[in-house]
Structure 1
Amino acid sequence: MNDNFIIPAQRIVGLPVNGSEASFPVRRIYCVGRNYAAHAREMGFDPEREPPFFFCKPNDAESVVPVPAGASVALPYPPRTENYHYEIELVVAIGKTGRDIAPEDAAGHIFGYAVGLDMTRRDLQMRMREQGRPWEIGKAFDYSAPIGPITRVADCGLLEAGAIALSVDGKTVQSSDLAKLIWNVSETIAQLSTLFELRPGDLIMTGTPEGVGAVRPGQRMVGTVDGLTPIEVEVL
């Protein structure tokens, strides 16, 4: 491979891993849309179990924001929006290559889990949706993916149920259970692997429950998933 680049190469983003001094290198970030029925309803959709759909976020250091354990990270309020939304999500870290993975084999491809936020410029996303255009400007912007430390599946077990919640300035705004995912983690991995070959370093943001809403500068968000390290993020 030729490593003599004409401009500086993109730096690989690493997420902290609980119990290790080594980081998890982020390769790609896949996101699942409308994967909780109540959230689908609040977004104006019928929550029937249609095939899942996916979109991506950038994997660069300007987009992925590692949130260390016990620390609070600041996010700048993004430009061109007046409706900046939080979406708490379970993040699945892939540790083994696979394509056309059967649901019953999906667990063997999981390295671990983390808590993440799919930050969204909702007004821009909705404008694009109404025009039948891609969502990138609403979803794939700088600092749009704060993600906490990864807990290895060997340490926490497979997460098929458990509370997921987000608070803003101490008030709970999102609260649900992983058991309410329309497509559970194994099914999501199986479906995604028919579209892309999954590789170590890939992240899957599995969808957000109901209660999404706007956040303003000066507000502090705390996201939790049972069994995982919480994340704390403040908006500048």
Structure 2
Amino acid sequence: MSQPITNYQPIMNYQHQSDIDSIKRLPAGKVVCIGRNYAAHAKELGNPVPKQPVIFIKPSTSLCHWNEKVYIPAGLGECHHEVELAILIKERLTNLDETDDVVSAIAGVSLALDLTLRDLQQTLKSQGHPWEMAKAFDGACPVANWVELPSAKWLEQAEFSLSINGELRQSTTAQLMLWPVIELIRYISQTFTLQPGDMVLTGTPEGVAALQPGDKLQASLSDLLTITSKVESYGG
């Protein structure tokens, strides 16, 4: 279960996909993720509701396109879906305070899957080790096409959902986030400098569960995006 996953072909040529040329020109950077940003999700995994944002990073090699297929590794235990609102950064952001503008630095918004090897994560947590092997493997972050941010207000009320085989599994609104998007980006910038092409995953709602080969996924982001795909496994 602890073997790393390498040479996963779908990630080899990742570039941000969008109808917006300026987005397509951005490099693929790091993915800064927020854990437990929805109280109900923290509780469903038996985790305490945090008093400050929980931050971890997926490398650029975890990125792949969320197209017709979602690939999960075989033989490494359960791989859970975690659908999240994704934010793409287009300007360098560092050590922001509450007066600094964040909205003008957002290139676009999308949906992403924070694929998680749950059995491995639980083992690592029980040993007091970091989660990266369960969260940052090649192909662990499928991303849909990027679209333009409708408005700053939209970030406070965005809705997104994920259905598996026609059954609604995850559904939420940004209003239920413990820390709103703008506040998160400012907070992250005080620890990690965000560079053009970096992404922020803003947390997943309750309803996470294991994916199985053959599962049919449908996800939506407000009225901006709809994604349909099928799960396949590799390796093993």
Q: Is the structural similarity TM-score above 0.5?
A: yes
**What is the TM-score normalised by the length of structure 1?**
0.86
What stretches of structure 1 move > 6 A for 4+ residues in a row? Answer: none
Q: Give the structure 2 partner of residue 101 of structure 1.
A: 96
Q: Secondary structure at the match of 1:78?
A: strand
* CA deviation vs aligned residue, 1:71-115 (integer Å, no higher than 9, x gap): 51241x314422110000000000111211134522222111011
| Separation in 2, partners of 1:174, 1:201 | 27
| Separation in 1, partners of 2:59, 2:77 | 22
| Separation in 1, partners of 2:169, 2:70 | 20
**What is the TM-score normalised by the length of structure 2?**
0.86
Q: How many residues align?
A: 218
Q: Give the structure 2 partner of residue 4 of structure 1.
A: none
**How high is the sequence identity, in percent, across the aligned residues?**
33
Contact residue 58 and residue 140 of structure 1 kept, 8 A: yes
Q: Does 1:31 find its partner at 2:33?
A: yes
Q: Secondary structure at the match of 2:161?
A: strand
Q: Give the structure 2 partner of residue 6 of structure 1.
A: none
Q: What residue identity is the alignment partner of 1:40? A: A
Q: Give the structure 2 partner of residue 178 of structure 1.
A: 174
Gaps of 5+ in 2: 1-10
Q: Which of 92, 96, 108 is matched with 2:87 structurally?
A: 92
Q: Give the structure 1 partner of residue 8 of structure 2.
A: none
With over 3 angstroms needed to count, the CA separation of the structure-2 counterparts of 1:33 and 1:74, relative to structure 1, is closer
Q: Give the structure 2 partner of residue 169 of structure 1.
A: 165
Contact residue 89 and residue 118 of structure 1 kept, 8 A: yes
With over 3 angstroms needed to count, the CA separation of the structure-2 counterparts of 1:193 and 1:22, relative to structure 1, is closer
With over 3 angstroms needed to count, the CA separation of the structure-2 counterparts of 1:227 and 1:102, relative to structure 1, is farther
Q: Give the structure 1 partner of residue 59 of structure 2.
A: 58
Contact residue 70 and residue 142 of structure 2 kept, 8 A: no
| Separation in 2, partners of 1:82, 1:44 | 19
Root mean square deviation, CA, Å:
1.9
Q: Secondary structure at the match of 1:207?
A: coil
Q: Does 1:18 find its partner at 2:13?
A: no
With over 3 angstroms needed to count, the CA separation of the structure-2 counterparts of 1:103 and 1:211, relative to structure 1, is farther
Q: What residue identity is the alignment partner of 2:142? A: P
Gaps of 5+ in 1: 1-9
Q: Which of 41, 44, 55 is matched with 1:42 structurally?
A: 44
Q: Which of 130, 141, 146 is matched with 1:150 structurally?
A: 146
